[in-house]
Amino acid sequence: MYARRNMEIVKTVAELKTLVAAFKDEKKTIGLVPTMGALHRGHASLVSRSVKENEVTVVSVFVNPTQFNDKNDLANYPRTLEADCQLLEGLGATVVFAPTPEEIYPEPDTRSFSYPPTDTVMEGAFRPGHFNGVCQIVSKLFMYVEPDRGYFGEKDFQQIAVIRRMAEDLKFGLEIVSCPIVREEDGLALSSRNTLLTADERQIAPAIYKALKESVAFSKTHTVEETKQMVVETINAVEGLEVQYYEIVDAKTLASITDWNMAEHVQGCITVFCGKTPIRLIDNINYK
């Protein structure tokens, strides 16, 4: 454990729990921001919000192996801990928790989580086991830190719905705070994976959000099915982009809707393959 001005960087659960116990003794409120590192302005917005709303902010930086179902994706995931810590210190984070996989999983995690339909549709269908891995790591972090608030980005819209269900189910008793998507000027949602895009791929990627945005006006005079089709066709018409799925869903349950009146809040969730590698990009938009 060593200090950088006011920020501690810890690698073990024991060190983390010692710090947390001291904060709890002092009755300090704690915000937790789970991340996989390679931090950008999207992550920074979560951290800044937590720093504003809590006396202590714990940021975890951990590329969680159990949520990857593709070995190459895990191996190629960007890792930039030194730069991440510099950014976090500037934002006013209190603790960075950056463990090794062995520290988190000394034994394989055999727990399984199931919150249908939130974890079975969309990402749950195309990345089997993904949300189980997310619940494994996030539940461990909630147990170690016992935060008052947990901060999550709407970029991973489905992930928030799954985590809300898990937090309710296991009675973690914290507030789940959802934070708006931070975008580049051209509309592309910030993502750690964007650094893996070639210059050409980076140029075509903003077409995803452009189509989503245009579809909101389109949806006022068209059915759910027509709107879905418009988005898929517009994006697939761009060479180098291929839609994996586009679903228009009840924002709370994530169940697909067939009529705009079927849900109070409606979200469109998309995954697109970009380029030859390809890089998998996700995004979403609110209809009502």
Q: How many CA atoms lie within 13 A of 103 on its CB side?
A: 17
DSSP 55-112: SEEEEEE---GGG-S-HHHHHHS---HHHHHHHHHHHT-SEEE---HHHH-SS-----
Count the site residues for ligand AMP by CB under 6 A.
17
User: Is residue 97 within the footprint of ligand AMP (CB under 6 A)?
Assistant: no
* The binder of ligand AMP chosen from 127, 130, 149, 155 (CB under 6 A): 155
Of residues 79 and 276, the one with the C-beta less far from ligand AMP: 79
Q: Which residues contact 171 (CB under 8 A, 6 or more apart)?
A: none
- What stretch of H or E contains 132? helix 130-145
* The binder of ligand AMP chosen from 19, 46, 212, 257 (CB under 6 A): 46
- Residues 123-152 touching ligand AMP, rule: CB under 6 A, are 152
Residue with the shortest CB distance to ligand AMP: 153
3-state class (DSSP) for residue 41: helix
In contact, 279 and 193? CB cutoff 8 Å: yes
Query: What binding mask, one character per residue, do residues 16-35 give for ligand AMP by CB under 6 A, x or -?
Result: -------------------x
3-state class (DSSP) for residue 244: strand
* The binder of ligand AMP chosen from 44, 182, 232, 238 (CB under 6 A): 182
Determine the Cα–Cα distance for residues 138 and 132; give it in Å rounded to an integer.
Answer: 10
User: Is residue 181 within the footprint of ligand AMP (CB under 6 A)?
Assistant: yes
Catalytic residue from among 40, 43, 130, 222: 43
Annotated catalytic, 43? Answer: yes
| Nearest-approach distance from CB 165 to ligand AMP, in angstroms | 16
Stretch touching ligand AMP by CB under 6 A, among 70-78, 93-101, 109-117, 184-192: 184-192
Bond into 65 cis (ω within 30): no
Residue ranges binding ligand AMP (CB under 6 A)? 35-36, 42-43, 45-46, 152-153, 155-156, 179, 181-182, 189-192
